[in-house]
Amino acid sequence: MAAISSVQCFFSCNSHHHRREQSGSLWRLGSRVLTTSLSRSFSGVNLKRRRTLICAVKGDAEGAFKKTVALDRMIDALKDANQRELEKLVVENILAFDEVFWIRLAARSDTCKSDDDKKDYEELAATVMTIVDCVVNKTREKIESSTDVLKGILRPVVEGVEEISWPPRDPQAIHQMEKEVIQREKEGQLDEGFLSEVSAQLRQAKEDKDKPGLAAMLQKVLQLYAATILSKRSYAKKGNEVVKAEHFLETLIKAPEEQWNKLFLDGLTIGKGEITPDEISAVIKKRIERTLIRTEGGSYQQRILVEYLKGIESRAKELVNLLQG
């Protein structure tokens, strides 16, 4: 159980770090901070902050002017929008609602000539804050949920272990991890939020350099995910014929990384097999192209799947170069 406690502590600390890293100013926009900032701005108390803003304008007049124009356009769009349009604008521009935005909104309110117009700005500010808080809370819940899913996948290799190590002493632990990944993928739990969380935890583990076992586990999670997704679609049959190079690639995709070298030696012509290095290279490139077409550009899913395929390609090239001298 000590190992689970260690992992949970790592997740707890670094999930907070990840939320800050991923969302930037988003996580500084809790309702208390927003309400305090806005109330001070509307009441005219926050003069020091306004003086700072004036100094910034003097220091970079052109940049500050463009920023103000952009903020005014945003505020005008929010004012003119109906409730549905307003929610959409806030969600699409969530990172724009920083301290400078609220100061500009307060300044616009201060210049109003009627109490009715001032009231409109106050109501707009309250509505926007409510929507922002809702987005923040949903994002936080999603990240916490993704962390719980990751803990569940890692449980077979850390439960009952005093110290995190890799590979696990029980060879069945990895098989149990694989079953967890397959089941949770079927249930739709391994979405972009999950992949983002695993990727962030992996980066942090590598940076810390004192958790090689944890980094290896997280890397294995991503490999199992990639193998599960890529194995869903087969290109090994063309009519009634089996495309040997495609079938060989699919065997590699499903196999653990530590078995790749043996599979290459048994399957490629540089060893005992019938598949030439050019043939395996061609089908890997084709599979990468198909993956790029079928996944969302820039998504974690696309990156992880492509990296997995490139890992197979790189291993093949290394082995071929080594054996060919």
Of 45, 43, 42, 30, nearest in space to 121 by CA? 42
Q: How far is CA 285 from CA 18, 111, 244, in A?
A: 33, 61, 16
**Domain endpoint, select from 209, 230, 251:** 230
- pLDDT tens track for 74-91: 899 998 988 888 888 888
Residue type, 118: K
Is residue 138 pLDDT above 90, yes or no?
Answer: no
The Cβ-side half-sphere exposure at 4, using a 13 Å CA radius, reads: 11
CA dihedral 246, 250, 256, 261 (to 10 degrees): -10
The pLDDT, as a whole number, for residue 47 is 42
Domain identity same for 145 and 239: no
- pLDDT tens track for 21-80: 433 333 333 343 344 443 443 443 344 454 555 555 455 777 788 888 888 998 999 989
Residue whose structure tokens are 């590699």: 252
pTM for this predicted structure: 0.61
Domain identity same for 167 and 85: yes
Residue type, 237: K
Tell me how far apart the 2 most distant CA atoms of the chain are, in Å.
87
The Cβ-side half-sphere exposure at 64, using a 13 Å CA radius, reads: 12
DSSP labels, 151-174? HHHHHHHHTT-SS--SS-SSTHHH
Estimate to the nearest angstrom the gap between the alpha carbon of 253 and the chain centroid: 23
Range of the domain at 214: 1-230
Domain identity same for 212 and 266: no
Looking at the structure of the chain, the number of domains it has is 2
**Domain endpoint, select from 176, 201, 230:** 230
Domain identity same for 185 and 262: no
